[in-house]
Amino acid sequence: MIIGEIRRYLRDNSSLRVSRSLRDIAYKVIYTREGYIRKNMKEPSIQEIAEEIGLSKEEVVYALDAVQTPMSLQEPVYNDGGDALYVMDQVSDKKNREENWVEELSLEAAMERLNERERRLIRLRFFEGKTQMEVSEQIGISQAQVSRLEKNALKTMRQYLLGK
């Protein structure tokens, strides 16, 4: 009963809502880990915990991640008395990396090799995510023609990008 009350308190007073079953798995993992340490005097691997409770390694890791306390991006990681290093500084930004900028320039240059019709088709298909049927209706040609034009446009772009 006491354990139930503790679990209820932790579940209800967490800043993130996690399903009860996932939280129960996490507590089972923690309990199994502590028992393993007492019994074997060493830290168990994720695989050993998973085998002990009959779950996959992925389920164990997922459950443990679900009960972690959230951390603010403004949390200082290191401070030498001057400028602090925050969690935000450690998070990578995949959207604005130099590599993406170079890729975009290359893609734009490859698109310039296409005629206006092919360029419009590629924009609709790959930038707006339309199906070949939707593109065919919008441009006023058959789906087979869209497929042929798309194939040729991609071939032209590929040849330019690979320098052939």
pLDDT digits (tens, 9 = 90+) for 17-66: 777 788 889 999 999 999 999 999 999 999 999 999 999 999 999 888 88
Give the residue ranges of DSSP H helices in the chain.
2-12, 20-40, 46-53, 57-66, 87-90, 98-112, 116-122, 132-139, 143-162
pLDDT of residue 133 exceeding 70, the answer is yes
Rounded distance between C-alpha atoms, residue 6 and residue 16, angstroms:
17
Q: What is the mean pLDDT of residues 85-90?
A: 74
Give the pLDDT score at 87. 77
Average pLDDT for the chain:
85
pLDDT of residue 144 exceeding 70, the answer is yes
Residue 76, helix vs strand vs coil: strand
pLDDT of residue 162 exceeding 70, the answer is yes
Rounded distance between C-alpha atoms, residue 50 and residue 71, angstroms:
27
pLDDT of residue 97 exceeding 70, the answer is no
CATH number for domain 2-73, candidates 1.10.10.10, 3.40.50.2300, 3.40.1160.10, 3.30.1600.10:
1.10.10.10
Residue ranges, comma separated, of all CATH 1.10.10.10 domains in the chain are 2-73, 98-162
